[in-house]
Amino acid sequence: MNISRTESSFYNESLLSKKFPSKNTSIKEDLTDEEKKTIQELKKTDREVRQHEQAHKSAAGSISVKSPSFTYKTGPDGKKYAVGGEVSIDVSEGKTPEETIKKAQQIKKAALAPANPSSQDKKIASQAQAMESRAKREQSKKNTYSTENENKIQDPDIYSTFSITA
């Protein structure tokens, strides 16, 4: 599952394709003030996207299954800038409720690691919270059943109900 799909709203597909057709026949030497401003905005977006995805990757630790991947747009200077990205993580449940709880907490931590989590990040965190809650209920049932069985074995009245005759 991909933890994040950050996309700069300013640099969506339609806007960029209108402003900068994907014909990379030549790189302009002399850029207009508007193009220079656009490049600065693209650089800022690139930096923010990379920081956002790196925050996910760092917080995910061992549940991260691959390095961040990015969506790029070519600016008026011919260079590619990251305008979106994602980090893939393992969101499967653990083998035990305890493992699942620990993993769900790690998923939430990774999803909410960036300074400004995206709506996708918040959705993943919510799903991880639900996974943790299910595991805690399962753990509670398991502990209740285990405690009841221990009480029966240790209950001295249990032995008084059995009689053995020879």
Q: What's the token pair of residue 70?
A: 């990015």
Which pair of structure tokens corresponds to residue 47? Answer: 């930096």
Residue 1 CB partners (closer than 8 Å, separation 6+): 88, 89, 91, 124
pLDDT digits (tens, 9 = 90+) for 55-90: 999 999 999 999 999 999 999 999 999 999 999 999
Contact residues for 53 (Cβ-Cβ < 8 A; gap 6+): 4, 6, 68, 70, 85, 86, 87
Buried b / exposed e over 136-166, threshold 16 CB at 10 Å, is eebeeeeeeeeeeeeeeeeeeeeeeeeeeee
Q: Rounded to two decimals, what is the model's pTM? A: 0.71
Q: Give strand ranges (E) for 15-164.
A: 69-74, 80-86
Quick one: pLDDT at residue 93?
A: 95
Residue spans per domain, the chain:
6-156
pLDDT tens digits for 117-155? 999 999 999 999 999 999 999 999 888 766 555 555 554
